[in-house]
Amino acid sequence: MNFSSPSDYRALFDLNGRVALVVGGGSGIGQAGGEALAAMGATVIVADVAGASAQSVAEHIRGAGGDADAITMDVRDGAQVERGVEDSVRRHGRLDVLLVTPAVNLRKRFLDYTDEEFDRVVDLNLKGTFRVARACARVMVEQKRGSMILMSSIRSVNVEPGQSIYAATKAGIAQMAKGLAVELGPHGVRVNALAPGIVATPLTQPIMANASWNEAYAQHTALGRWAHAGEMAGPIVFLASDASSYLTGTTLFADAGWTAMDGRYEPTLSA
């Protein structure tokens, strides 16, 4: 793209003609991301383990004037992931954007974790992201174009008791984005990670239901509040679009200053 005129700058976020696969698009951040990508002109394939939820989001996008369809996809099933990506490309002819969000967090102390629980978290969060990224990378390398958005977290750098295994998967995803960016960059494919802070989604509902926990988290942000899922839509569109054409291998923190703070204590300072 030629960025020499104002008209080009206004087109930076235009996704008309692009096809986006949103895995985990049936709820939460994935749903907000899918709806935003569609609003910017992309054809969106909403994929979710809950097929009815994916269908509902796709219908909502179409009702708002967007273009979307839905598929059922369980990222723990490698064969299903491969089929889903292949069928989507066969139907739409291309794949320009990937957003992959599925994750689970078992908040348990490290010494209480079982092998089975460890495997469950790692298989869904880290290996599931790997399965989807691998299938989409094959398509994007062939096209010589694409943008992948993997879902990391503030927990990739900032951990509390009970978050060790979840945090390890999110740190792994951030590193995976770096590695994929290096390997796929020569083929015109960009790979970045988005690291949200505290966002009101079904995954965080148990925390929000606890008044003291909910408030403690809110006060650990510079803005003093939780994010709505829709507040992740802007960063997602940015990473998907030509507005981020020179960004790859990075993790974008959308955390209201959580990782910039080391506590809420404000000492008295001399003038």
Domains of the chain in sequence order: 15-201+230-253 (3.40.50.720)
125 DSSP assignment: I
pLDDT at 9: 87
Distances (CA, A) of 166 to 6, 75, 97, 108, 130: 43, 17, 25, 10, 16
Q: Which amino acid is at 194?
A: L
pLDDT for 204 equals 85
Catalytic residue among 9, 113, 166, 217: 166
pTM: 0.93
CA proximity to 153, closest of 173, 138, 133: 173
Q: What is the pLDDT of residue 160?
A: 87
| Catalytic (active site) residue 217 | no
Per-residue pLDDT at 264: 61
Look at residue 206 in the predicted model and tell me its pLDDT.
Answer: 85
Q: What whole-number distance in Å separates Cα of residue 134 and Cα of residue 58? A: 24
**pLDDT digits over 35-91, tens only?**
999 999 999 999 999 999 999 999 999 999 999 999 999 999 999 999 999 999 999
Nearest residue to 210 (alpha-carbon basis) of 120, 107, 117, 121: 107
DSSP characters for 42-89? -EEEEEESSHHHHHHHHHHHHHTT-EEEEEE--TT-HHHHHHHHHHHH
Which position has the token pair 């300072």? 269
Q: How far is CA 267 from CA 14, 40, 69, 218, in A?
A: 47, 46, 54, 20
Q: Mean pLDDT per segment of 10 residues, for the chain of length 271 residues?
A: 64 96 97 98 98 98 98 98 98 98 94 97 98 98 98 94 95 98 98 96 86 91 95 98 97 96 65 51
Please give the pLDDT value at position 6.
Answer: 53
